[in-house]
Structure 1
Amino acid sequence: MTRTVSISLVTLGDPLAMTGGYLYHRRMAELAPAYDARLTFASFPSVAFPLPALAARRVLRTVRDQRPDVMLIDSICAAFLAPVRMPPGLPVAAILHQPPGGIDHGRPRALAQAVLDRWTYRRAARLLVASEPLGAELARQGFGDRLVVVPPGRDVPEPPPGPAADLRAGTGAALLCVANWLPRKGVLDLLDAVAALPDGAARLHLAGDEDADPAYAARVRRRLGERDLAGRVIRHGRLPKEEVARLYRDADVFVLPSLREPYGTVYGEAMAAGLSVVGWRAGNLPHLARDGREGLIVEPGDVPALTAALARLCADAGLRDRLAAAARLRAEEFPTWEDSAAVFFGTLRELTPERPAGPT
């Protein structure tokens, strides 16, 4: 019988937070029993940088109390472990959803954090990364000998039963954006693009955490209150994953003009649900969808081009259908969560003395 491998995942703040990295970790925790594994969490307090580092020894005591076979460090908190000694004899790995230095910080913090992140990663036997481009970036920084790409799965839960909702509400098409309100997600650019569409062209549906960045959220709310967006946008806020699946099912087009997505889980989910995708030629999107094949990809920051792309799809149902069918077909090449879990837990099991792998 295969021995259960215990993994202690060190992260920052509430593991139930609604962002891509946390959702990834929870999905792996749910799947762990099928791979003879158990995944538990140990969290740094979510306070201003670099104050979480003061809790490093307490967090490591929590890890020791969990008696894991492997300690897995989330990239969001790697910097806070740089100054401390790792528990002796405990294999260490890291799961990276962002490059060293992070992606949502100002330049001074990013530079300082990058040094600390890399210090921690040098002490890890394996670096699990969420995408090929992120892996290539880490390889250029000298970590190529320990990288394993483990992307998120494309599959989402089944939506609740019931008839499809009328998300168009009398317009030409229902646009969907699933994103927390962060500057790099491009929500303001999207609102400007939607405001420039012809009257009656589309209804935009926004789903995601509206308070992820209070200063940016205030700007988004002010923009939503302007007259040129009256009646054009529906806000859903944070939703359970089943309700997000319902929006994927009932929308016509997925749009997210994000400047930097190490993977972009929502693009893959939308494509698997049969939606064409629209966004900037940035981050991982060009590796998931091709312009004119599975979606319309425009140059970063070109809001008139974003408006034109949305206008084309709103006015041409045939084009939407062709791109959507291609997107669904392309998404079949992406891994499922079970595919990714097999690599995830197989890689971590290799760090323990016993190495059998595979789901039960």
Structure 2
Amino acid sequence: MRVGLVIYGSLATVSGGYLYDRQLVAHLEQQGDEVAIIALPWRSYGRHLLDNLSADLPRRMNGGFDVVLQDELNHPSLAWANGRLRRGPHPPIVAIVHHLRASEQRPAWQNWFYRRVERRYLRTADAFIFNSQTTRREVEALTGRARPHIVAYPGGDRLGPPATLSLEARANQSPFRLLFVGNVIPRKGSHDLVAALARVKGDWTLTIVGSVAVDATYVRHVRELAAQAGIGERLIWRGGLPDNELAAEMAAAHVLAVPSAYEGFGIVYLEGMGFGLPALATTAGAAAEIVTDGGNGYLVPPGDVVALAARIQSLLDDRALLARLSAAAVAGYAHRPTWAETTAAMRQFLVTIARQPEGG
């Protein structure tokens, strides 16, 4: 099978969505498929819309492929280009949807515009790969139609959880160690986490793992919030880490705290559960498909720093509760698919789509 994959920038980009795409590409290549990356340059949303004027882009996507995969992140560049591609013989278009831009929190007028562009793009796809049921429901609600699809949950075994892990012994260690993993951007909620921690009494530290280069202005804001609250010295900034060092941080932490304003899935919650880390997440998006409130973690409304602080305080004060949630996290993780299982299911879906008559 010959596959084209449309992405922005490099497949090596560090994010959950690009990790998902990399895992799929690796599996396809292991199975003997040929994958050609059709990389578009990172630019502003407005300049991405101008990509639709390119006569070259539809030609690149019609380069003898059995199927064309498109990361939905690229929707502004493809909303009209796909329409031109579809005017003649073309391979099936399969959109990989991690989450909709219009699902993120921002001013209503902006999401009004984004919804219209995304709807136009999504209606040009012949089939979909979704990372969660939440994402599937939101796409079908936006487009008003169902198309052939697969919900392929991400795997959580990339980091390889340690063979031996004494959850009870770790739960009773001090200080109480929180771990944040993700690019330090507003959507991931590190400002809410800092505001919540300013309310927490006791001995704790917060380790922040993730790029600080994506939004330098926001990173300065988070640092200033911590300094103003008098907790700046308790924050440990690690930057981006290789997998082995990230695994070590997860093995040493007590909880994973990523109170995102929205997640289309939240791979890091699942990866943390493999290390026995209860997840502190929010009720927005698909986190509830992974995190059971009061079972293997807690869900709080996005932006509710009082509720978030209360959950952190309860786990810091009650180490038996922490140990129970840690054990539940490991148990839940054991029932989740591996990357090998997920990517095999995706490939079988693509084989089926590639064999269908043109246009599904």
User: 2:335 aligns to what SS in structure 1?
Assistant: coil
Alpha-carbon distance in structure 2 between the residues aligned to 1:104 and 1:61 = 35
User: 1:322 aligns to what SS in structure 2?
Assistant: helix
Alpha-carbon distance in structure 1 between the residues aligned to 2:235 and 2:121 = 43
Match of 2:347 among 332, 345, 348: 345
User: 1:228 aligns to what SS in structure 2?
Assistant: coil
Instruction: Supply the AA of the counterpart residue of 1:285.
Output: A
Q: What is residue 45 of structure 1 aligned with on the other side?
A: 41
Alpha-carbon distance in structure 2 between the residues aligned to 1:178 and 1:348 = 31
Match of 2:3 among 7, 15, 28: 7
Alpha-carbon distance in structure 2 between the residues aligned to 1:173 and 1:280 = 21
Q: Which runs of 5+ in 1 are unaligned?
A: 356-360
Work out whether 1:31 is the aligned partner of 2:27: yes
Q: Is the 8 A contact 1:10 1:42 kept in 2?
A: yes
Q: Is the 8 A contact 2:62 2:91 kept in 1?
A: no
Q: What is residue 140 of structure 1 aligned with on the other side?
A: 141
Alpha-carbon distance in structure 1 between the residues aligned to 2:300 and 2:111 = 27
Instruction: Supply the AA of the counterpart residue of 2:73.
Output: I
The Cα of 1:148 is off from its aligned counterpart by 1.8
The Cα of 1:149 is off from its aligned counterpart by 0.9
Aligned ranges 1:74-93 → 2 under 5 Å: 74-84=71-81, 85-86=84-85, 88-93=89-94
Identity across aligned pairs (percent)? Answer: 29
User: 2:213 aligns to what SS in structure 1?
Assistant: coil
User: 1:314 aligns to what SS in structure 2?
Assistant: helix
The Cα of 1:14 is off from its aligned counterpart by 2.6
Q: What is residue 100 of structure 2 aligned with on the other side?
A: 99
Q: Is the 8 A contact 2:104 2:261 kept in 1?
A: no
The Cα of 1:160 is off from its aligned counterpart by 9.8
Instruction: Supply the AA of the counterpart residue of 1:195.
Output: A
Alpha-carbon distance in structure 2 between the residues aligned to 1:89 and 1:281 = 40
Alpha-carbon distance in structure 2 between the residues aligned to 1:331 and 1:158 = 12
Q: Which runs of 5+ in 2 are unaligned?
A: none
Match of 2:218 among 216, 219, 223: 216
The Cα of 1:247 is off from its aligned counterpart by 1.5
The Cα of 1:194 is off from its aligned counterpart by 1.6
Match of 2:303 among 296, 301, 304: 301
Q: Is the 8 A contact 1:270 1:277 kept in 2?
A: yes
Q: Which moved more, 1:249-258 or 1:44-53?
A: 44-53
Instruction: Supply the AA of the counterpart residue of 1:255.
Output: A
Alpha-carbon distance in structure 2 between the residues aligned to 1:91 and 1:208 = 36
Aligned ranges 1:100-139 → 2 under 5 Å: 101=102, 103=104, 106-139=107-140
Judged with a 3 Å threshold, the aligned counterparts in structure 2 of structure 1 residues 240 and 160 are, in CA distance, closer, same or farther, namely farther
Judged with a 3 Å threshold, the aligned counterparts in structure 2 of structure 1 residues 212 and 160 are, in CA distance, closer, same or farther, namely farther
1:296-347 alpha-carbon deviations (Å, 9 max, x no partner): 2223322122112112212222211111111111122222111210121111
Alpha-carbon distance in structure 2 between the residues aligned to 1:152 and 1:75 = 16
The Cα of 1:100 is off from its aligned counterpart by 5.8
Judged with a 3 Å threshold, the aligned counterparts in structure 2 of structure 1 residues 40 and 316 are, in CA distance, closer, same or farther, namely farther
Alpha-carbon distance in structure 2 between the residues aligned to 1:123 and 1:286 = 30
Q: What is residue 20 of structure 1 aligned with on the other side?
A: 16
Alpha-carbon distance in structure 1 between the residues aligned to 2:306 and 2:113 = 37
Q: Is the 8 A contact 1:43 1:59 kept in 2?
A: no
Instruction: Supply the AA of the counterpart residue of 1:122.
Output: R
User: 2:238 aligns to what SS in structure 1?
Assistant: strand
The Cα of 1:94 is off from its aligned counterpart by 0.5
Alpha-carbon distance in structure 1 between the residues aligned to 2:105 and 2:198 = 26
Alpha-carbon distance in structure 1 between the residues aligned to 2:305 and 2:5 = 40
Judged with a 3 Å threshold, the aligned counterparts in structure 2 of structure 1 residues 160 and 6 are, in CA distance, closer, same or farther, namely farther
Instruction: Supply the AA of the counterpart residue of 2:223.
Output: R
Q: What is residue 70 of structure 1 aligned with on the other side?
A: 67
The Cα of 1:159 is off from its aligned counterpart by 7.2
The Cα of 1:105 is off from its aligned counterpart by 5.8
Q: What is residue 59 of structure 1 aligned with on the other side?
A: 57
Q: Is the 8 A contact 1:35 1:342 kept in 2?
A: no
CA RMSD for the aligned pairs? 2.7
The Cα of 1:145 is off from its aligned counterpart by 3.1
User: 2:353 aligns to what SS in structure 1?
Assistant: coil
Alpha-carbon distance in structure 1 between the residues aligned to 2:220 and 2:154 = 31
Q: Is the 8 A contact 2:62 2:85 kept in 1?
A: no
How many residue pairs match? The answer is: 345
Instruction: Supply the AA of the counterpart residue of 2:190.
Output: V
The Cα of 1:225 is off from its aligned counterpart by 3.2
Q: If the length of structure 2 is used for normalisation, what is the TM-score?
A: 0.87
1:86-133 alpha-carbon deviations (Å, 9 max, x no partner): 163211111001126363765444333322222222222111111111
Judged with a 3 Å threshold, the aligned counterparts in structure 2 of structure 1 residues 297 and 354 are, in CA distance, closer, same or farther, namely closer
The Cα of 1:186 is off from its aligned counterpart by 1.0
Instruction: Supply the AA of the counterpart residue of 1:144.
Output: A
